Structure 1
Amino acid sequence: MSQNILLITMAISFLITVLISPFFIPFLRRLKFGQSIREEGPKSHQKKSGTPTMGGLMILVAVSVTTIVMTLKFKQEPLSFEVFLLLFVLIGYGLLGFLDDIIKIIKKRNLGLTSKQKMLGQIVIALIVYIILRQHDFPTYIQIPGTEIQFDLGIGYALLILFMLVGASNAVNLTDGLDGLLAGTAAVAFGAFGILAWHGIPQFEISIFTIAIVGSLLGFLVFNAHPAKVFMGDTGSLALGGAIAIVAILTKLEIILIIIGGVFVIETLSVIIQVISFKTTGKRVFRMSPLHHHYELKGWSEWRVVVTFWIVGILFAALGIYIEVWMV
């Protein structure tokens, strides 16, 4: 597949997002779909209260339209089950996040679905994914990055899928806390998977899907960079988390997701460490978790935290690409 197709894919997704945003953001504002801010969060965030949320809907529209149009144009045949799965997970987790956002807006608080309700939805989607993969005789092995070593998990692969989809969607969701933070780090991570899907034995549909997400996120950043005019909400963050997990599964890069998604892993670990420390010792390791809030409370500007995390994300992505492309 020519690189030009990927560039065109990115451009189309970017333009769709940028062009619909000036209409969609005021629409959200008129509906009073504003974000509720955590009272225990940094005081500087209180001024963001009321900023339109659920901007993730723009990402879902741009990515879905671009992926379908470019895949049909390029393949000139019905959509494959891989494309169906990619869009099913993206939209499925997006709808779950949409419900969460809607409840927050209606109740005017920062708590939407209960943790059990959200977890149930995530698990159901993951189980459907596993059933579809089984129907298509999808391989159940995992490969150690940078080597030819493989382990067949058999039925245990179902647990891996469950862990990856639920874990990634929650990890990415935790990273969405500052203007442009998730949009930037996710664009880098999806870009890395797009490169890997295109390298070697090309997986065209997956490349198109990942690059469409990159283009949409870059378009979203036009309005989400500090000071943000719109937030993606759980509609966007849960969708992106589920999407990056299914991309890693379909490309058989399950383990490398830990590296390319290093920022998401660190953010999640900071929350786990904080909770364990507080429950066992009564002391907090970080001033606040997830980790990006810790640096805010240390006096870093929001923009400094975001750019630093972007750079760390780029380093993780580069490491993941290096391991997969040059170490094998």
Structure 2
Amino acid sequence: MHWTEILIPLVSSFAITIMAMPLVIGYFRAKQLGQTTREEGPKWHEVKTGTPTMGGTVFLVAGLLTAIWVAVWQNALSLSMGILLFILMLYGLLGFLDDFIKLMMKRNLGLTSAQKFLGQVIGGALFFVVYRIEGLSTALFIPLFGTIDIGWLYGLFVVFWLVGFSNAVNLTDGLDGLATGTSIIAYSAYAIIAWYQGQTDVLIFCLAIIGGLIGFFFFNKKPAKIFMGDVGSLALGGGLAGVSIILKQEWSLLLIGLIFIIETLSVMLQVGSFKLRGKRIFKMAPIHHHFEMSGWSEWKIVLVFWLLTAIFSAIELGIIL
């Protein structure tokens, strides 16, 4: 794929998002459908109550349409792209249902954790089934042992990877522009890896998502006019995990997605510490709220987390390439 052709999926997805988003925002405002701020969240986030959400629907649809038409044009439509689009849309659908219930019932809880988890696991299992139909490798690099074909155990890894990172990005989506910016950087890193490997289908997929996210950022930057919602964050995390698997660079996500992991670990440590010792480690979890309560501005946290994601991604690219 020539470098000039790289602009096509970026511009297509960006244009669809940038044109459709004002219509979506206008519709939600007219219907008075806005996000309900979590009661346990920072008190200063109450001003965000009523802000339209589910903006992820727009950039997901833009990415889907763009990825398909560009792949057909480039003769790059493949089963690999198909399962990436499948997991993106399935996890997006789970998030959509979660967001929809919250909006319609005017509460801050949608689907139960068990319902979302079951849907994510089923999606991961189906991903692995198609992955094997495609004939892709079940080999995994294991430290101290080297690369080993672990057979059906790779399916368990796939499910764990997809579910884990979809939830990790979801936890990161707590400040204006935070999940959007970190996802743009992470998908850009994988676009470079895909281009280097000559996997045009995965490259197109990543570029289509990046273009949509850039368009979405204009409405999601502080002060956000709309949030991506679970429909966006769950899909983005699942998509990242799926791309790392298809490119056979699974462990790269530990560095490229390190911010997502830190956010998740902060919640796990906070909950574990409180249950075992009755004490909190952080002022509030996920960790971006800890920095807020420590006096950092929202923009400062977002910029620092973006910078760290860019640094981690550059280090990983230096290792791989």
Scaled by the length of structure 1, the TM-score of the pair is 0.95
Matched, 1:99 2:97: yes
Gaps of 5+ in 1: none
Contact 2:222 2:299 in 1 (8 A): yes
Which whole-Å CA distance do the structure 1 matches of 2:105 and 2:244 have between them?
Answer: 36
* SS of the residue 2:36 aligns to: coil
Provide the residue aligned with 1:175 in structure 2. 172
Which whole-Å CA distance do the structure 2 matches of 1:253 and 1:66 have between them?
Answer: 25
Provide the residue aligned with 2:22 in structure 1. 22
For residue 140 of structure 1, what is the amino acid of its counterpart?
T
Superposed, 1:126-275 pairs within 5 Å as 126-143=124-141, 149-199=146-196, 201-275=197-271
> For residues 230-258 of structure 1, what are the alpha-carbon distances to aligned partners after superposition, in whole Å with 9 as ceiling and x for unaligned?
00000100110111111111000111111
> For residues 12-66 of structure 1, what are the alpha-carbon distances to aligned partners after superposition, in whole Å with 9 as ceiling and x for unaligned?
2111111111111111222332101011111110000010000011111110111
* SS of the residue 1:150 aligns to: strand
Q: Which of 276, 282, 285 is the matching residue for 1:286?
A: 282
Which whole-Å CA distance do the structure 1 matches of 2:33 and 2:3 have between them?
Answer: 39
Equivalent pairs, count: 321
Scaled by the length of structure 2, the TM-score of the pair is 0.97
Which whole-Å CA distance do the structure 2 matches of 1:134 and 1:71 have between them?
Answer: 22
Provide the residue aligned with 1:10 in structure 2. 10
* SS of the residue 2:74 aligns to: helix
Gaps of 5+ in 2: none
Shift of residue 107, structure 1, vs aligned partner: 2.1
For residue 45 of structure 1, what is the amino acid of its counterpart?
H
Percent identity of equivalent pairs = 50
* SS of the residue 2:238 aligns to: helix
Shift of residue 149, structure 1, vs aligned partner: 4.1
Contact 1:288 1:294 in 2 (8 A): yes
Which whole-Å CA distance do the structure 2 matches of 1:144 and 1:191 have between them?
Answer: 26
Provide the residue aligned with 1:32 in structure 2. 32
Which whole-Å CA distance do the structure 1 matches of 2:141 and 2:106 have between them?
Answer: 46
Contact 1:144 1:255 in 2 (8 A): no
Shift of residue 144, structure 1, vs aligned partner: 6.3
> For residues 257-279 of structure 1, what are the alpha-carbon distances to aligned partners after superposition, in whole Å with 9 as ceiling and x for unaligned?
11110110110011111111111
| RMSD, matched Cα | 1.5
Q: Runs in 1 of length 4+ with deviation above 4 angstroms?
A: none
Which whole-Å CA distance do the structure 2 matches of 1:33 and 1:167 have between them?
Answer: 29
Which whole-Å CA distance do the structure 2 matches of 1:300 and 1:165 have between them?
Answer: 32
Tell which deviates more after alignment, 29-38 or 205-214. 29-38
